[in-house]
Amino acid sequence: MQKKLLAALLGLAALAQVHAADVTTAMLANTAKDTKEVLSFGMGTEGQRYSSLTQINTRTVAKLVPAWSMSFGGEKQRGQESQPLIHDGKMFVTASYSRMFAVDLKTGAKLWKYEHRLPDGIMPCCDVVNRGAALYGNLVIFGTLDAQLVALDQKTGAVVWKEKVDDYAAGYSMTAAPLIARGLLLTGVSGGEFGIVGRVEARDPMTGQLVWSRPTVEGHMGHKFDKDGKASDNGISGTANKTWPGDLWKTGGASTWMGGTFDESTGLAYFGTGNPAPWNSHLRPGDNLYSSSTVAIDVATGQIKWAYQNTPNDSWDFDGANEFVTFDMDGKRYGGKADRNGFFYVIDAKDGKLQNAFPFVKKITWATGIDLKTGRPNFVAANRPGDPTKGEEGKKGSTVFSAPAFLGAKNQMPMAYSLTKLFYVPANDWGMDIWNEPVTYKKGGAFLGAGFTIRPIFDDYIGAMRAIDPKTGKIVWEIKNTAPLWGGVMSTAGGLVFYGTPEGFLKAVDARTGKELWKFQTGSGVVAPPVTWQDGGEQYVAVVSGWGGAVPLWGGEVAKKVNMLEQGGSVWVFKLPKS
C-alpha cells in the first residue's frame, strides 16, 4: 500500500515536472522576445530571425570560440538544412534522412536519437533534407521524407503519435519545419515536381488529429473535421477551370513545401506556394491560382483571407514558396518576401495589398518590373520558353536564357530582419537555358515538360549577402560569395548578421556596413540558418553544417564549379571565452 502511494506520488511529481517544461501557446506567442529559448522555426513565428541579445556584438564577436560540436554520424550525410530548437536545457535538431537528435545544451552530449524508417520509393526532389521541428506541450514534431508527421516525447524520444499526411509514391514528401499557431499544428507538403496538390493543414498538435485542410490549387475542396474525424466542406477553393484549363487543376502542384509564418496581430498564417505543374506553361494558359503565390490563411477557420500571386502562369519554376516575414513600417504591419523570381515584395499583412516591389538581384529577364497599381508583372514575352507544339516536329520549344535560374534569386535559405530596419537576404545571381517539351501526368513521375542548364552570370561570384531597405528598395551593402549561398541568416541587437557559406564558414558581419568581423570553418558547407540564446549569463550561437541540398543535384554548370565541396553532418555551438 505504502509502495503504491509512493509510486502515485512519484507519478504526480513526474507529471508536475513535465507540465513545468510544457511548451504553451503563450510561450510560442512570445518566443521572438524570449532570449533564453528558441521555440520555433524562424526564431519567432513571424520569422524575423532577430535576437535582442547583445553580449556577442561588433566589439566582442572576434573572440567567439566553439563550445561543443556533435556529429549526426551515419554513413549517409547529404544536405543539412535544419534550424535547431532550444528548450528546457536541450537542443532539438533534425538531420538528413528524417533523423532527429536531442542534445544536452551544456555538454553537447547526445540524449536520444530518432531515425525514421524510410521506404525505398521516397521521392524528394531536392535532396534528403529536413529544415527543423516544432515544439508543443511535451512533444517535438517533424515531417518526414515519406510524408508523415511524427511527434516524439521531448524527454525520451519515444513516438507519441504518427500520422500519414499523404502518399509518398505519388511524389509527396515533407521537409519544412511545422508551424504552431494559436494551438494548431500547421503544415504544408512538398512534391511540386510530381504533380501533387499543395495544401495547408491544421492539426491538434497533441494528437495529430486533423482540424482543417485548405488546398492551394483552385478547384479543390477544403475541409474541416469534427472530433470524430468526419469531414465537411470548408468552401471550394475558387472555380474549377477558371484559371486552370481542362483537368490540369487535378495535378496542379503549388506545393507548400517551405511551410509558413504566423503573425499574432493579424491572426493569419502565410504560406508560400510552389510552381504550377507541369513547368511547361503553354499547357495551362491562365494565372493558375494559387501557384507561385503567398496565401494568407485565417488560422481559426482555414479560409484563405487573401492571396498575392508573384508569378502568374509561371514558366520558370519560380516557386513562390519563400517565407513571408511580417514587420512594422510607418505604423503599419507589412510582410517582406524575397521571391525566387528576383523581386522583393512588400505587402500589407492584413489585406494583401502590394506596397512595393523591386529587384534584389542584378539580372531579371522574364519581367521588366512589377506594376504597383495592378500588382502584376510586366512580362517580357520573348523571354518565356517557347511552345513545343510550335517547335521542330512538335518535340521541343525554343530555348531562352532566363535569369534568375529556377533555383532562384533566393531559395529555401531564410532571410532575417533587424532593428536596422533592413532585411538581410542571401541572394544568388545566376541564370539558365530553359526549354519546354511535351509531357503527360503519370503518378510518381517527374511532371515538368522542361529541360534546363543552370549557368553562372558573373565570373567572380554567384552568391551575394545583401542588406535591403524595404522602404526604398535600395541595396545598402552586399558581400559577394564564390559559391551560391544556401544557408539562412540571423540578426542580433549586438549589431551583427550571421550567415553560413557552402565553403564551410559561419560568418558574423557588421549589420550596418557588411564588414566581416568573424568567421569559423565548420568542416563542411553551411546550408542552414543559425540561432542564438542565453543560458547562465552566457550567449550562445549554433548552426548546423553539412553541404548538400538542391545545388549539387540541379545546379548544371554551377554544380560543376562547386563539386569539390565535401559533405558532412554536425551541429556547432559557439560562445565567448570566460574572461
Q: Which positions are annotated as active-site residues?
A: 317
> Is residue 343 a contact partner of residue 427, using CB atoms and an 8 Å limit?
no
**Smallest gap from residue 126 Cβ to Ca ion (A):** 8
* Residue 320 touches Ca ion, criterion: CB under 5 A: no
**Smallest gap from residue 255 Cβ to Ca ion (A):** 7
Q: How far is CA 226 from CA 136, 204, 390, in A?
A: 22, 12, 51
Q: How far is CA 549 from CA 55, 97, 268, 272, 491, in A?
A: 33, 12, 30, 19, 23
* Residue 314 touches Ca ion, criterion: CB under 5 A: no
Q: Which is nearer to Ca ion, 192 or 546 (CB)?
A: 192
**Smallest gap from residue 434 Cβ to Ca ion (A):** 13
Q: Which is nearer to Ca ion, 177 or 277 (CB)?
A: 277
- Which range binds Ca ion by CB under 5 A, 35-43, 75-83, 179-187, 311-319? 311-319
Q: Which is nearer to Ca ion, 279 or 334 (CB)?
A: 279
- Look up residue 158 and give its amino acid: A
* Residue 463 touches Ca ion, criterion: CB under 5 A: no
Secondary-structure breakdown of the chain: helix, strand, coil percentages, each rounded to the nearest 5 = 10, 40, 50
**Smallest gap from residue 414 Cβ to Ca ion (A):** 17
* Residue 192 touches Ca ion, criterion: CB under 5 A: yes
Pairing mode, if any, of strands 50-51 and 489-492? parallel
Q: How many residues bind Ca ion (CB under 5 A)?
A: 5
> Is residue 199 a contact partner of residue 188, using CB atoms and an 8 Å limit?
yes
Reference 293, options 376, 350, 223; nearest CA is 376
> Is residue 340 a contact partner of residue 318, using CB atoms and an 8 Å limit?
yes
Which strands sit side by side in the sheet containing 332-338, from one edge to the other? 325-329, 332-338, 343-348, 354-359
Say how far apart CA 498 and CA 141 lie, in whole Å.
26
Say how far apart CA 490 and CA 496 lie, in whole Å.
8
Which of 58, 256, 275, 365 is in the footprint of Ca ion by CB under 5 A? Answer: 275
Q: Which is nearer to Ca ion, 84 or 192 (CB)?
A: 192
Say how far apart CA 235 and CA 218 lie, in whole Å.
11
Q: Which is nearer to Ca ion, 253 or 495 (CB)?
A: 253
* Residue 317 touches Ca ion, criterion: CB under 5 A: yes
Say how far apart CA 254 and CA 272 lie, in whole Å.
9
Cell numbers at 52, concatenated: 535582442
Tell me the residue length of the chain.
579
**Smallest gap from residue 190 Cβ to Ca ion (A):** 9
> Is residue 347 a contact partner of residue 337, using CB atoms and an 8 Å limit?
yes
**Smallest gap from residue 320 Cβ to Ca ion (A):** 10
Q: Which is nearer to Ca ion, 408 or 529 (CB)?
A: 408
Say how far apart CA 94 and CA 317 lie, in whole Å.
27
Cβ-based neighbour number of residue 104 at 10 Å: 14
**Smallest gap from residue 499 Cβ to Ca ion (A):** 24
Reference 280, options 451, 136, 412; nearest CA is 451
Q: In sequence order, what are the beta bridge partners of 208? A: none
- Which range binds Ca ion by CB under 5 A, 190-198, 237-245, 308-316, 351-359? 190-198
User: Max Cα separation, the chain?
Assistant: 88
Say how far apart CA 97 and CA 278 lie, in whole Å.
27
Q: Which is nearer to Ca ion, 210 or 551 (CB)?
A: 551
Query: Which of positions 427-446 make contact with Ca ion (CB under 5 A)?
Result: none
> Is residue 370 a contact partner of residue 382, using CB atoms and an 8 Å limit?
no
Which of 84, 208, 215, 274 is in the footprint of Ca ion by CB under 5 A? Answer: 274
Pairing mode, if any, of strands 110-115 and 210-215? unpaired
* Residue 319 touches Ca ion, criterion: CB under 5 A: yes
* Residue 127 touches Ca ion, criterion: CB under 5 A: no
**Smallest gap from residue 216 Cβ to Ca ion (A):** 13
Could you report how far apart the first and last alpha carbons of the chain are, in Å?
A: 55
Query: Which of positions 213-242 make contact with Ca ion (CB under 5 A)?
Result: none
- Which range binds Ca ion by CB under 5 A, 12-20, 75-83, 315-323, 510-518? 315-323
Say how far apart CA 281 and CA 338 lie, in whole Å.
23
- Which range binds Ca ion by CB under 5 A, 81-89, 241-249, 275-283, 337-345? 275-283
> Is residue 45 a contact partner of residue 28, using CB atoms and an 8 Å limit?
yes
Query: Which of positions 385-414 make contact with Ca ion (CB under 5 A)?
Result: none
Q: Which is nearer to Ca ion, 319 or 478 (CB)?
A: 319
**Smallest gap from residue 449 Cβ to Ca ion (A):** 13
Tell me the per-residue interface mask from 354 to 383 with Ca ion, x by CB under 5 A, - otherwise: ------------------------------
Q: In sequence order, what are the beta bridge partners of 423? A: 417, 468
Q: Which is nearer to Ca ion, 273 or 491 (CB)?
A: 273
**Which residues would be at the binding site for Ca ion (CB under 5 A)?**
192, 274-275, 317, 319
